[in-house]
C-alpha cells in the first residue's frame, strides 16, 4: 500500500497519512510504517480515503493487536463489539445510541482503567455537527522528559489508581461531564432483556509507564481518569496529581485536531493524552472508536 506520511506543519505532534485503501488488508510493510509513524508523531490523521465499513475498520485496527471490547462495559455493543459508538444521538426509545453526550471530555488515555490498558486508539468521524468540537492531543513522553530528574526519580516508584466511576455517576446525575448520560437507562434495558454485561473495571498502573513496544517512558496520569496515587494520603495525592496535570498538558505540547467527516485518527493512547471540547447538543456527532490492548 503506497502510504504517504507527512508531518503536520507547525504542530508539536501529528502527521497526515494519505493513500490508505480500507478495502485492502494491511500488508506487514505498511503496518510497520504506520507503527513507526506512530512512534515518531504519536498521532496519525488518515484523510482522503473512502469511509471504511465496520468490518474493514476492525480488520485494520486488529492488525496492531487484540482489540478491547469496551462497548460491552458501556452497554453499547453492536454486531462488532470492538467498535465503541461515541455519539450523543438518542434512539426512539429515548436511550442514547452510544457512549457520551455533547459535554466536554477531560484529558485521558483510553482504557487506562483496565488492567491491560489501551495501546493504539482509532477514532473515525462518521457524522459531525456544524460546530464540530476539536480533539486535543498532548505528548506525554515529552511531559516526562521535561520534568526535573529528581522528580522523575520520585515518580518512578509510584503507582496510581484509574477509574471511570466518577464520570459515569456524574452523567447519571446530569452533570455537564456526561460521558454516558444514558448508562442507567441502558442498565435497566439490559436487565429487562436478560443481557448480562461485565462491570466497568478499575486498575492501578505505574505513574511512569514503559511503552511495551518501544521501551520509552511515559508520564501516565490524566485529570480525567487518574483518581489517586497509591500509598499517599488523600491530600498529598491530590497535590501531586494537580501538579502533574498542570505540567502534563502544557499548551506547547498540544495539537488540536479539527475533524472532517471520514477522518480516521490513529494515535498512541499511552503516550498522548487527549480531550474533547463540548458542542451544541442539538447537533449530532457520531464517531467510531477502537483500541488495541497492551
Ligand atoms: Fe478517548
189 pLDDT more than 90: no
Cα 121 to ligand 1 centroid, rounded to whole Å: 8
- Among 172-176, 196-200, 213-217, the least confident range: 172-176
Cα 134 to ligand 1 centroid, rounded to whole Å: 13
Cα 277 to ligand 1 centroid, rounded to whole Å: 12
pLDDT in tens, 229-242: 999 999 999 999 99
Cα 188 to ligand 1 centroid, rounded to whole Å: 25
Determine the Cα–Cα distance for residues 213 and 119; give it in Å rounded to an integer: 9
- Among 83-92, 131-140, 239-248, the least confident range: 83-92
Cα 140 to ligand 1 centroid, rounded to whole Å: 15
Cα 118 to ligand 1 centroid, rounded to whole Å: 10
pLDDT in tens, 50-98: 999 999 999 999 999 999 998 888 888 888 999 999 989 888 888 888 8
253-282 burial: b if 16+ Cβ within 10 Å, else e: bbbebebeebbbbbbbbbbbbbbbeebeee
pTM score, whole prediction: 0.93
Cα 93 to ligand 1 centroid, rounded to whole Å: 26
pLDDT confidence of residue 174: 46
Determine the Cα–Cα distance for residues 59 and 110; give it in Å rounded to an integer: 20
Pairing of strands 43-46, 15-18: parallel
Arithmetic mean of pLDDT over the chain: 92
Cα 72 to ligand 1 centroid, rounded to whole Å: 16
pLDDT confidence of residue 173: 44
Domains of the chain: 4-293 (3.60.130.10)
Cα 150 to ligand 1 centroid, rounded to whole Å: 31
Cα 100 to ligand 1 centroid, rounded to whole Å: 11
**Is pLDDT larger for residue 167 or for residue 223?**
223
Amino acid at each position: 500500500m503506497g502510504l504517504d506520511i507527512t508531518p503536520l506543519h507547525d504542530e508539536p505532534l501529528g502527521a497526515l497519512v494519505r493513500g490508505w485503501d480500507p478495502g485492502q488488508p494491511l500488508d506487514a510493510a505498511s503496518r510497520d510504517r504506520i507503527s513507526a509513524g506512530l512512534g515518531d508523531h504519536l498521532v496519525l490523521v488518515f484523510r482522503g480515503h473512502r469511509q471504511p465499513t465496520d468490518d474493514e475498520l476492525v480488520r485494520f485496527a486488529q492488525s496492531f493487536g487484540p482489540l478491547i471490547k469496551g462497548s460491552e462495559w458501556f452497554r453499547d455493543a453492536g454486531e462488532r463489539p470492538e467498535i465503541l459508538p461515541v455519539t450523543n444521538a438518542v434512539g426512539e426509545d429515548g436511550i442514547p445510541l452510544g457512549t457520551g453526550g455533547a459535554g466536554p471530555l477531560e484529558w485521558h488515555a483510553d482504557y487506562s482503567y483496565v488492567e491491560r490498558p489501551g495501546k493504539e486508539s482509532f477514532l473515525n468521524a462518521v457524522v459531525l455537527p456544524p460546530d464540530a468540537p476539536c480533539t486535543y492531543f498532548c505528548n506525554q513522553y515529552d511531559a516526562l522528559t521535561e520534568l526535573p530528574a529528581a522528580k522523575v526519580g520520585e515518580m518512578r516508584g509510584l503507582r496510581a489508581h484509574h477509574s471511570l466511576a466518577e464520570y459515569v455517576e456524574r452523567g447519571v446525575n446530569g452533570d455537564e461531564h456526561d460521558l454516558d448520560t444514558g448508562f442507567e437507562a441502558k442498565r435497566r434495558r439490559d436487565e429487562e432483556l436478560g443481557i448480562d454485561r461485565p462491570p466497568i473495571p478499575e486498575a492501578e498502573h505505574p505513574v511512569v509507564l514503559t511503552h511495551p513496544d518501544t521501551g520509552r517512558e511515559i508520564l501516565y496520569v490524566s485529570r480525567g481518569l487518574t483518581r489517586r496515587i497509591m500509598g499517599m494520603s488523600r491530600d498529598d495525592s491530590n497535590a501531586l496529581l494537580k501538579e502533574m496535570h498542570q505540567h502534563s498538558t502544557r499548551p506547547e505540547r498540544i495539537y488540536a485536531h479539527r475533524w472532517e467527516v471520514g477522518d480516521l485518527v490513529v494515535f498512541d493512547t499511552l503516550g498522548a493524552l487527549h480531550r474533547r471540547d463540548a458542542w451544541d447538543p442539538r447537533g449530532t456527532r457520531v464517531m467510531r472508536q477502537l483500541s488495541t490492548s497492551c
